[in-house]
């Protein structure tokens, strides 16, 4: 199946710093990627839909100025958590899907904010 990579796999940072997470589709082009957040023992919650060449679409309750999304190419979307705080600690997963096909997930990034 299609491959989606994510980097880094884990990151620890101090409160107030910004963290950038990269999501790449390795063997296909994705005009749309999705960013999810998953807290322990909870489901995947969609944060935003990343659209290549245009602004991301954010879900209700997700601060667009805090979670900056850039989808500059057909194979790369980035999520930047700005001024991270301990409550932002979570498992962040991106995904992309082929047209009329299943959704492929990245391996996830575990963010810990001290």
What is the binding site for another protein (CB under 8 A)?
Answer: 1, 31-32, 34, 41-44, 46, 49, 51, 91, 93, 97, 99-100, 102-103, 105-108, 110
CA distance 63 to 67: 6
In the complex, minimum distance from the CB of residue 66 to another protein, in angstroms, rounded to a whole number: 20
The pair phi, psi for residue 88, each rounded to 5°, is -85, -10
CA distances for 29 relative to 35, 57, 67, 84, 105, angstroms: 16, 19, 23, 30, 14
Residue (73 or 103) nearer to another protein, CB: 103
Contact of 11 with 111, CB cutoff 8 Å = yes
Contact 57, 100 (CB under 8 A): no
Nearer to another protein, 59 or 63 (CB): 59
**43 or 86, CB closer to another protein?**
43
Tell the smallest beta-carbon distance from residue 44 to another protein (Å): 5
Shortest Å distance, C-beta 36 to another protein: 8
């Amino acid at each position: 199946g299609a491959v989606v990579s994510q980097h880094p796999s884990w990151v620890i940072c101090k409160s107030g710093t910004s963290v950038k997470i990269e999501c790449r589709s390795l063997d296909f082009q994705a005009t749309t990627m999705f960013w999810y957040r998953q807290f322990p023992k909870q489901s995947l919650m969609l944060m935003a839909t990343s659209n290549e060449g245009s602004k991301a679409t954010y879900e209700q309750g997700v601060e667009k100025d805090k979670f900056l999304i850039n989808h500059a190419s057909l194979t790369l979307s980035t999520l930047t958590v700005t001024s991270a705080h301990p409550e932002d600690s979570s498992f962040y997963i991106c995904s992309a899907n082929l047209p009329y096909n299943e959704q492929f997930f990245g391996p996830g990034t575990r963010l810990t904010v001290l």
